Amino acid sequence: MKFLQGSDILILDTQYTDEEYQAHVGWGHGSLSTAISLAIDAAVRKLIIFHHDPTHDDEMIDKMVQTARKLAAKSESYLEVEGAREGAEMTLD
């Protein structure tokens, strides 16, 4: 985790809700709470969750982003959370 410490942006696989993850342990994909915990522990400034489950529609992804933001706020961290979306672009300096 040292290589993440203090990163401005972390783009991380967060395919499942915590409930869904229970049935998918070992599949190689992450969950909301583990993504948030990792980003907070590493003092990341912005987390972008991606690799959305193909069965999730836009409404479900929006709910996941809102849940992730609530988890981050509950921790009293300064972590910003966004959901990756098709066509989004990011400029890195």
**CA pair distance 91, 93, nearest whole angstrom:** 7
Percent of the chain with pLDDT over 70: 100
Domain boundaries, the chain: 2-83
Per-residue confidence band for 16, with pLDDT thresholds at 50, 70 and 90: confident
User: Per-residue pLDDT for 70 more than 90?
Assistant: yes
Reported pTM: 0.87
Q: What is the mean pLDDT of residues 20-30?
A: 81
Let me know: does 31 contact 14? Beta carbons within 8 Å: yes
User: Per-residue pLDDT for 22 more than 90?
Assistant: no
User: Per-residue pLDDT for 93 more than 80?
Assistant: no
CA-closest candidate to residue 34, choices 6, 2, 20, 45: 20
